[in-house]
């Protein structure tokens, strides 16, 4: 045997399985002298991590076959050689070769033939191990590529959603629409239970939930968000990156444009419902979301912060410009330009839902004398104070408009005639009792008020409603001022409103 072949045989672990191993002293000697680690067993046992198994066919065919099947099930890479005399038939030898035997050696087992079979078997095993190793590397690479592909797909989908959000935000100039759009689109990318948007300018927190939550929980979330917002406004520094907080149950990002602080956005995930919360009610005190937010999601939220802040700032600026167009600069109430649109809207609503609508036209009596006596600056101050007194007499849903000069209009949605007259009398009495104090000179003023209401047989349009109130005001001024008037009919005499009010309340 050549030196090269001898070297190839050294260092292998070989198991010799035979019922009578003592019958083969030459084979045993040969294997030992060639540097192998040799184990001899007289039963078909688990071979462990051996390199070669040499099986003598003096075991039964079925026991050998079952042994080979066990090795196959264990995904063994051991090289198996079979030695036999006349014990096995050709068909069974073929079956054993198919079951995993690498080579079959016939008696009298020439040692040279045995050595060659072992070398070939070891080489075949080495190739098999290389293939398996390569296969494992390929599988790992495929899994890594698959994971990266999934991540890229997710990233691409998220970027598409963010692009769509940016487009929608750039198209809107109304804060309510911006809030609704941003929350809706962010929820497609980052699943959450509660979203909170604190707006500095409006000093309020907008809340949206994916599922109905208790009022107590919403109140707590709103209070926490408001506190976070106030701390953000006070802090000289702002954090542009979203922060994962409270064990992953929250993400918060500050909204700013340059150095101008806009507000903050906070997303909350609630813990799983459990009996300890009382009928499955989640609790923020657990501080552990069922699925914590990830740093990737924080990165995504950070990417929405700048376009969202810019959209909110643009909406604020648009609102300022819009207010300048529809608000009276002197009294800071709505002006005549806003009047038609608001009256049309409320009249359509009243008509559609068959709900009452009242309207008052108010005129400050003898206002020209104030201007002539004290000057226009004093007159302007009186108008500002009058607007404040009128506002103080109204509900939040009522609309006060400076129609022109010293004339104001009040729109009272959902208010029938009797209730409208009560409001008118409250205004009239309040103005009578107010001292418009100018440089220690108390000025007493009165108002005349014309009232109209819908539904009414004579009124079929917003213009008709206003005209009837305006004619009632004209009648009040004609009859001596400092009074409230309504019209029975456009063709009949006027009706003293205060007397009507007292009758209706008797």
The total domain count for the chain is 3
Tens-place pLDDT, residues 476-501: 999 999 999 998 754 333 444 444 44
| Catalytically annotated residue among 161, 250, 346, 406 | 406
Q: Which residues pair with 444 in a beta bridge?
A: 435
* Cβ–Cβ under 8 Å, residues 353 and 394: no
Cα–Cα distance for residue pair 307/185, rounded to 1 Å: 13
- Cα–Cα distance, 101 to 111 (Å, whole number): 19
CB 404, CB 418: distance < 8 Å = no
Q: Which of 107-111, 180-184, 481-485, 502-506 reaches the highest mean pLDDT?
A: 481-485
Does 143 fall in a domain?
no
Mean pLDDT of 407-411: 97
Please give the residue that has the higher pLDDT: either 213 or 484.
484
pLDDT in tens, 217-274: 999 998 998 888 888 888 766 666 888 888 888 998 889 888 888 899 999 998 865 4
CB 321 within 8 A of CB 415: no
> DSSP letters along 293-308, please?
--HHHHHHHHHHHHHH
Please report whether residue 447 resides in a domain: yes
Residues 248 and 369 in one domain: no
- What is the SS3 string spanning 232-290? HHHCCCCCCCCEEEHHHCEEEEEEEECCEEEEEEEEECCCCCCHHHCCCCCCHHHCCCC
- Cβ atoms of 250 and 293 closer than 8 Å: yes
Separation CA 478–CA 31 (nearest Å): 134
Q: What is the residue range of 481's domain?
A: 334-505
The band of 409, judged by pLDDT with boundaries at 50, 70 and 90, is very high
Residues facing 36 on adjacent strands: none
Q: pLDDT for 104-148, tens place per residue?
A: 888 888 888 888 888 888 888 888 778 877 878 888 888 887 888
Q: Using the Cα atoms of residue 425, residue 430, residue 436 and residue 441 in order, give the sign of their dihedral.
A: positive
On whether both 267 and 394 belong to a single domain, the answer is no
- Flag whether pLDDT at 159 surpasses 60: yes
- Is there a domain that residue 358 lies in? yes
Residues 194 and 369: their CA atoms lie apart, in Å, by 59
DSSP 436-465: EEETTEEEE--EEEEEEEESBTTB-SHHHH
501 is catalytic: no
Better pLDDT: 9 or 259: 259
Domain final residue, candidates 76, 101, 130: 130
- Give 14-35 pLDDT, tens digit per residue: 999 999 989 889 988 888 888 7
The predicted pLDDT at position 472 comes to 96
CATH value at residue 478: 3.30.70.270
Residue 77 main-chain phi, psi, to 5 deg: -105, 10
Are residue 192 and residue 275 in the same domain, yes or no? yes
In a domain? residue 154 = no
Write out pLDDT tens, residues 380-400: 999 999 999 999 999 989 999
Cβ-based neighbours of 300, under 8 Å, separated by 6 or more: 158, 162, 189, 190
78 and 10 together in one domain: yes
Q: Report pLDDT for 408.
A: 98
pLDDT tens digits, residue range 419-471? 999 999 999 999 999 988 767 778 999 999 999 999 998 899 999 999 999 99
Taking only the tens place, the pLDDT of each residue in 309-334 is 899 999 888 887 777 778 898 999 99
Q: Is residue 188 in some structural domain?
A: yes
Q: Give the per-residue pLDDT at 184.
A: 85
344, 491: one domain: yes
Q: Are residues 481 and 414 in the same domain?
A: yes
Residue 489: helix, strand or coil by DSSP?
coil
Strands 357-364 and 407-413: antiparallel
Residue 321 lies in a domain: no
C-alpha 469/C-alpha 462 separation (Å) is 11
pLDDT for 187: 87
Length of the chain: 506
Residues 207 and 100 in one domain: no
Find the mean pLDDT for residues 401-407: 94
CATH number at residue 206: 3.30.450.40
DSSP state of 480: T
pLDDT at residue 97 in the model? 86
Higher pLDDT, 425 or 150: 425
Residue of 213 and 366 predicted with greater confidence: 366
Structure tokens at 276: 């300890």
Q: Once rounded to an integer, what is the mean pLDDT over residues 157-175?
A: 83
Q: What is the mean pLDDT of residues 400-423?
A: 95
Domain check: are 265 and 340 in the same one? no
Indicate if the pLDDT at residue 8 is higher than 60: no
Across 90-109, average pLDDT: 86
As beta bridge partners, residue 82 has 55, 104
Are residues 501 and 353 part of one domain?
Answer: yes
Q: Could you tell me if 242 and 298 are in contact, meaning their C-beta atoms sit under 8 angstroms apart? A: yes
* Same-domain check for residues 31 and 118: yes
Say how far apart CA 506 and CA 499 lie, in whole Å: 11
Q: Domain holding 126: CATH number?
A: 3.40.50.2300
pLDDT tens track for 348-376: 999 998 999 999 999 999 999 999 998 99
For residues 181 and 175, what is the distance between their CA atoms, to the nearest angstrom? 10
> What was the pLDDT predicted at 493?
36
Same domain, 187 and 310: yes
Q: Contact 484/428 with Cβ under 8 angstroms?
A: yes
348 and 486 inside one domain:
yes
Q: Pick from 77, 106, 130: which residue ends a domain? A: 130
Q: Percent of the chain at pLDDT above 70? A: 89
Q: What is the pLDDT of residue 1?
A: 38
State how beta strands 250-257 and 243-245 pair: antiparallel
- Evaluated on CA atoms 417, 421, 423, 424, the torsion sign reads positive
Q: Is residue 151 part of a domain?
A: no
Domain boundary among 251, 285, 315: 315
Distance CA 323, CA 329 (A): 9
Indicate the pLDDT class of residue 10, thresholds 50, 70 and 90: low
Question: What's the CA gap between 362 and 477, in Å, rounded?
Answer: 10
Residue 107: how many CB atoms within 10 A of its CB?
12
């Amino acid at each position: 045997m050549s030196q090269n072949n001898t070297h190839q045989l050294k260092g292998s672990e070989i198991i010799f399985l035979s019922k009578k191993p003592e019958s083969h002293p030459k084979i045993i000697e040969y294997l030992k002298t060639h540097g192998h680690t040799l184990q001899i067993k007289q039963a078909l046992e688990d071979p462990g991590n051996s390199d070669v198994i040499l099986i003598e066919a003096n075991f039964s065919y079925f026991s050998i076959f079952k042994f080979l099947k066990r090795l196959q099930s264990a995904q063994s890479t051991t090289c198996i050689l079979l030695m036999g005399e006349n014990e096995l038939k050709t068909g069974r030898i073929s079956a054993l070769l198919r079951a995993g035997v690498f080579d079959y050696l016939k008696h009298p087992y020439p040692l040279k033939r045995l050595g060659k079979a072992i070398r070939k078997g070891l080489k075949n095993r080495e190739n098999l191990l290389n293939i398996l190793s390569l296969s494992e590397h390929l599988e790992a690479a495929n899994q890594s590529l698959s994971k990266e592909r999934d991540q890229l797909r997710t990233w691409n989908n998220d970027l598409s959603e963010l692009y769509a959000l940016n487009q929608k935000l750039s198209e809107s100039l109304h804060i309510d629409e911006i809030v609704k759009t941003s929350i809706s689109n962010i929820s497609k990318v980052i699943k959450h239970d509660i979203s909170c948007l604190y707006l500095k300018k409006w000093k309020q927190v907008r809340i949206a939930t994916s599922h109905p939550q208790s009022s107590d929980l919403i109140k707590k979330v709103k209070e926490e968000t408001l506190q976070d917002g106030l701390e953000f406004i006070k802090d000289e520094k702002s954090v542009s990156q979203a922060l994962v907080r409270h064990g992953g149950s929250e993400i918060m990002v500050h909204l700013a444009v340059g150095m101008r602080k806009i507000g903050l956005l906070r997303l909350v995930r609630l813990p799983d419902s459990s009996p300890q919360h009382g009928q499955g009610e989640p609790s923020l005190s657990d501080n552990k979301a069922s699925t914590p937010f990830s740093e990737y999601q924080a990165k995504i939220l950070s990417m929405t912060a700048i376009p969202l802040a810019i959209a909110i700032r643009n909406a604020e600026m648009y609102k300022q410009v819009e207010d300048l167009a529809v608000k009276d600069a002197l009294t800071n109430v709505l002006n005549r330009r806003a009047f038609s649109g608001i009256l049309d809207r409320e009249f359509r609503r009243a008509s559609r839902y068959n709900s009452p609508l009242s309207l008052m036209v108010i005129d400050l009596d003898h206002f020209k004398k104030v201007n002539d006596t004290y000057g226009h600056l004093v007159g302007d101050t009186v108008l500002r104070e009058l607007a404040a007194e009128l506002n103080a007499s109204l509900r939040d849903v009522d609309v006060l408009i400076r129609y022109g000069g010293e004339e104001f209009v009040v729109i009272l949605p959902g208010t029938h005639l009797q209730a409208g007259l009560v409001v008118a009398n409250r205004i009239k009495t309040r103005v009578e009792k107010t001292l418009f104090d100018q440089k220690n000179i108390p000025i007493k003023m009165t108002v005349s008020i014309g009232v109209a209401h819908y539904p009414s047989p004579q009124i079929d349009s917003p213009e008709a409603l206003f005209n009837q109130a305006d004619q009632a005001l004209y009648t009040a001024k004609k009859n001596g001022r400092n009074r409230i008037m309504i019209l029975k009919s456009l063709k009949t005499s006027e009706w003293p409103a205060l007397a009507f009010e007292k009758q209706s309340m008797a």
